[in-house]
Structure formats: C-alpha cells, structure tokens
Amino acid sequence: MGKPVTFKVYGNGSDYLWDLGDGTMASGPSVTHTYQTPGIYRVVVKSREGNTLRELSSAIVRVHTPETVHLPQVILDTDARNEQDDQHYIAYALFSEVDVLAINSVHHGPHRVNHGGQFQEDINYGEIHFIIMLARNSGLLNHRPENLLPMVFHGARRPLEVPASGRWEDTEPVRSEASEAILAAARGASPDNPVWVLPVGPCTNVASAILQAREEGLDIKNRIKVCWLGGSPEQVHVRSFNGENDPWSVYVVAQSSVEFWIILEWPTGASLRIDKRVESHLYPDNPLGRYLKAIVPEGPKPLFDPTTMAMVIGRHLGKKWLTQLEPVVVLGPDQGYRWKKVETPTNVYLVRGIDAQAMKEDLFNTLNGKPSPLRKR
C-alpha cells in the first residue's frame, strides 16, 4: 500500500484500457498506479476493437500493509456441495489469517448423477456463496474486511480429455472463470510469496490454468504451488472420489514441474475426523457453526479437505504436522496412474502421514475465532 506498481501488456493490440480494481481507470500499454487501501484487486486490461471492448487479460493482486506482506496466499478450488468436508475447509480458510484470494467451483465428475447431473458445478458455486453468507452472518467481517473477501469464480463443468497423442502437453484445457482466476493470481504473485492452489475435488481447474499458461508463454513454476486432496496409497483414481473424477488432470499437474503436494484421500485425509455424538460442542454457536454441525452425519465422519489448509498454515508456522512424506512421480494411464517413489529430484510429494489431532485442533480453534497467528504483530 502506498507504493507504485507498474502493469504492462504485451501483444499486438491497440488502444488499451485498464480497470485497476479500485475504481481507477487508465489507458496505454503501460500504467503505473499507487493503491491507497489494502485489499484484493482484480486488474483487467481491455482492447478497443471498433465500438466494442475485448478483455485481454487480468491479474489478481493483493495490496499489503507491512504486517500482512508475508501471509500465505491461497485459492480454494472445491466441489462444495458434494460432501460436508468442503464446507469445513471453506470456513476454516475464511476465519484463518491466510489471504484467500478466490474460491473456485468445479464439477464432481460423472459418478454421482444424483448430485446435480449437468448442473453440479452451478450447485457447487451456489454453496460457496451460501457458506460466505453464513460466515458474514457469523462475524466474518469483524475478522476479514469487505475488501479482503475472496472473489468467487465458476469452474470447469467436465473433466479434461486425454489427447490422442497421449502427451500431456497436447491436452486441451477446459477454460473457465476459475482457470482464468488461477492464471490471474499467478500474474499478480511474486516468486517469494507464490499462491497456493488447494483443489479438494478434481484438478481440472488448476491443470487447465497450467495448460493455458504454457500456451501464452507464461512461466508460473515459481508463482503457484498446488496441494491436492485425493488419491489412495497406490494410485490416483482407486478408492479416491476426487481422483476418479479427472485422473488425467492430476497427471498434467504432476508433469508440469509446478510444486505439487498430494494429501492422500485415504487413509491420510480420512484420519482427520469428527464424531458429532460426542464432539458437537466443538462447533461455534453461530449460523455457520450450526450449519456445519447439521450437515455432518451422526457417527465418526472423515473431514478430509481441511487438511490442505492445515498444511499451508502448518508449513508457514514451521509445525511438524506432516509426519510422512514420499517424493514420487505420477505414472500415466497406461501404468494405472500409479505413484512411483523416486530418489532423484522431483516436484511431487505424497503426504502419507499427518498429525491429525493438531490439524483438528487448529481447525476448530479457528472456527471459534482463535486462528493461529500468522500476521506480524
């Protein structure tokens, strides 16, 4: 905040027009602007073609104070209405001190036709907005001001298709608001504080963003990191609902050289669980807490998805919440999308063990208004 930033556009267009996100408009191939208020801004550059304006590109930027400049930045990516764990993960992120730049919806595959069919992405999108509304009604704005609320984007409605060549580089991305938002956040990030993308459904959105970045020659290797909840002990798409819904997207992310962390759905993510019969007191007595408690079934229930948020928080704090890591490569469909442990340098790490109790305590402390301190005090 208070320091000038310069945006440039590269291309063959003309008559560039800029919306800098805070009500300021500008023109030209390069503009310099000073933000006076901290917050999350979407910067858009357009080109005039006759009497119409065409959006060319965008960047999501976080304008900081000195106390917040090193906060972890995340984009949530969720099939939010598929189960109950997604809602816990969204709430955990919102009430944490992590910078949540955006929340994306995504399909949850062809396997649950009774969960919305072709409209499942729309239903997931609506659930994100519903959780944000409940969070606001539960005091969120006392913790996260209006200009720091995340933007919400529609995601892919279908999985990636394996190209005829079998080469991941030839995959056609499923373009969506969400894939564009991930790219926009990468443009606005700095390599010393990359954006974590946390898919807790299929990896379609983030894989598509990576493919789109390759098309335009944008190197995002040091601008985003990915932590996915999915997979089973041996492979991507067996005993893993998230893996079944787009296994090729997991392969694409793994091949891309982007840093890729995988918290196994079973048994790792499943080890963080709640039993409402004896632990209902853990939920706060507010609209969000009551909703979360209501949608969790009776008996022990794995919560899965919050482990991705806990990983980001734990790593930022230097906590040893990841107890068993394995460097791997991800094999292709001809080899069953299996993990292969390697001793050579890799960009992919399996999380086989976690301190589930520590993660659970941080989750529920955060929901009750006592998040782990991440800001500089």
pLDDT, tens digit, 9 for 90 and up, residues 166-210: 999 999 999 999 999 999 999 999 888 999 999 999 999 999 999
pLDDT for 269-293, tens place per residue?
999 999 999 999 999 999 999 999 9
Q: What is the CATH number of the domain that holds 244?
A: 3.90.245.10
Residue 44 sits in the same domain as residue 98: no
Let me know if residue 376 belongs to a domain. no
What pLDDT is recorded for position 158? 93
Residue 240 sits in the same domain as residue 168: yes
Residue 79 sits in the same domain as residue 130: yes
Let me know if residue 203 belongs to a domain. yes
For residue 256, is pLDDT > 80?
yes
User: Please, is 312 exposed, middle or buried when counting C-beta atoms within 10 Å of its C-beta (0-12, 13-18, 19+)?
Assistant: buried
| CB-based burial, 207-234: b 16+ in 10 Å, e otherwise | bbbbbbbbeeeeebbebbbbbbbbbbee
Residue 31 sits in the same domain as residue 135: no
Sheet containing strand 348-354, edge to edge, reads: 151-153, 99-105, 73-78, 195-199, 224-229, 259-263, 348-354, 322-330, 339-341
For residue 294, is pLDDT > 70?
yes
Cβ atoms 67, 20 nearer than 8 A: no
pLDDT for 35-89, tens place per residue?
999 999 999 999 988 788 888 899 999 999 999 999 999 999 999 998 999 999 9
The mean pLDDT value of the chain amounts to: 95
Residue 228 sits in the same domain as residue 302: yes
What pLDDT is recorded for position 111? 63
Let me know if residue 19 belongs to a domain. yes
How many domains does the structure of the chain reveal? 2
Residue 306 sits in the same domain as residue 219: yes
Let me know if residue 190 belongs to a domain. yes
Please tell me the pTM assigned to this model: 0.96
Residue 113 sits in the same domain as residue 9: no
Residue 49 sits in the same domain as residue 134: no
Task: With CA atoms as reference, report the closest residue to 368 among 29, 95, 53, 157.
Answer: 95
Q: What is the CATH number of the domain that holds 13?
A: 2.60.40.10
Let me know if residue 348 belongs to a domain. yes
Residue 189 sits in the same domain as residue 320: yes
Residue 29 sits in the same domain as residue 175: no
| 17, 40, 63 - which closes a domain | 63
| 24, 41, 63 - which closes a domain | 63
What pLDDT is recorded for position 48? 83
pLDDT for 3-18, tens place per residue?
999 999 987 777 899 9
Let me know if residue 372 belongs to a domain. no
Confidence category of residue 375, pLDDT binned at 50, 70, 90 = confident
Let me know if residue 251 belongs to a domain. yes
Residue 56 sits in the same domain as residue 173: no
Let me know if residue 377 belongs to a domain. no
What pLDDT is recorded for position 112? 64
| 21, 44, 63 - which closes a domain | 63
Q: Which two tokens stand for residue 126?
A: 């609506």
Task: With CA atoms as reference, report the closest residue to 111 among 84, 82, 136.
Answer: 82
* Structural domain that includes position 269: 73-367
In whole angstroms, give the CA distance from residue 157 to residue 205: 10
Residue 58 sits in the same domain as residue 87: no
Cβ atoms 309, 96 nearer than 8 A: yes
